[in-house]
Homo-oligomer: A and B are copies of this chain.
């Protein structure tokens, strides 16, 4: 494969995570490394607010920033997308050829030959469409997707960058909530609502205390299995007989067997541009059910955006891997790869070992990887040891941001 060179652009898309800037730092590090080893990538641009900002030519030059090693280190531990994000769904080429022509003109104007897009499932759809388009019209540009999602629901990769940190946050916070709930002798139920619309990966991590301090929720419900209110109430009653403080972890996206969301009552009715319904109130719905049908003290806690932006509590494994996969994307692009999504392959659990590869993004985009049956107990209200063995390596290791004035340092690009 020829060495192409010209300029590069990197963007971030979709919901923030605590590790998406680690991957951005990884792409920057990869480009620096390529040039150090004789490559000649010219400028590295950052697109502000993803493809949306690129269309408006809102580009920042990352070359100057990348010279400051301390800032690059701090970027790795800065949560949320430092370049800004967007939720722009690319039209089909046939539906809006002008959109693509305008994009192509921008690529040509800035001589962009490397395109890195860090995002989740919807962002991989962008990578898929864009790489197909530039190939079709003969513009040589290497288009690479780098995964990012706290949801861990991308096909083709053992896990996703950002998931390990969110899982560590969820597991830690749930274990703290369990301790908090345990202080009183009055019978009480605490419902913890965790992000996850279609896949319950993040909710499974709530059970990780089993391997650490023995503190885990009594019940765990995932969107992978139909939710039955009667079973939930009966299982909660049984748990209350064993000890007074029952904690339940639940994915926001759990549904009844007829497909309606449990939180539908408190739903906003708004859909986002990808057609996803905006959910709220799953925890509240269960709280009201417990109040009505059991009558004991009950509280619901929604971990909300905190679980995806807690830069102060990250998995060192996740951050290191997120940097490595960004770097690998740059190197793979230089080697001629395009239309690919970077991925992790797990080699072993004990000791944990993985390698980075890539796969055709067209085969990955728009698919959802769900929690497999082997990870869910027979009653559909708990997590198996096999699942915890999969999860554990991803949350291990601590890395702390630098604190200035009592608060974590944050890099603003």
Q: Please list the residues of chain A having a beta carbon within 8 angstroms of any beta carbon in chain B.
A: 12, 16, 49, 52-53, 78-81, 84-87, 168, 171-173, 175-177, 179-185, 190, 208-209, 211-213, 215, 299, 301-306, 308-313, 315, 392, 395-398, 400, 403-410, 412
Contacts and interface: CB of A to CB of B under 8 A. Distances in A.
Given A79-B176, A176-B311, A406 B305 contact: no
Given A211-B405, A410-B213, A306 B301 contact: yes
A408 B311 contact: no
Contact of A172 (B85, B302, B407): B407
A409 B392 CA distance: 15
Given A176-B79, A176-B311, A183 B85 contact: yes
- What is the count of identical protomers in the complex? 2
Contacts of A84: 182-185
Contact of A80 (B79, B172, B173, B176): B176
B180 A16 contact: yes
B313 A312 contact: yes
Nearest to A305: B180
Contacts of A175: 407-408, 410
Contacts of A184: 49, 84-87
A313 B409 CA distance: 15
A13 to B, nearest CB: 10
Contact of A406 (B190, B308, B395, B405): B395
A202 B175 CA distance: 23
Contacts of A404: 212-213
A392 to B, nearest CB: 6
A406 B212 contact: yes
A21 B209 CA distance: 20
Contacts of A79: 176, 179-180
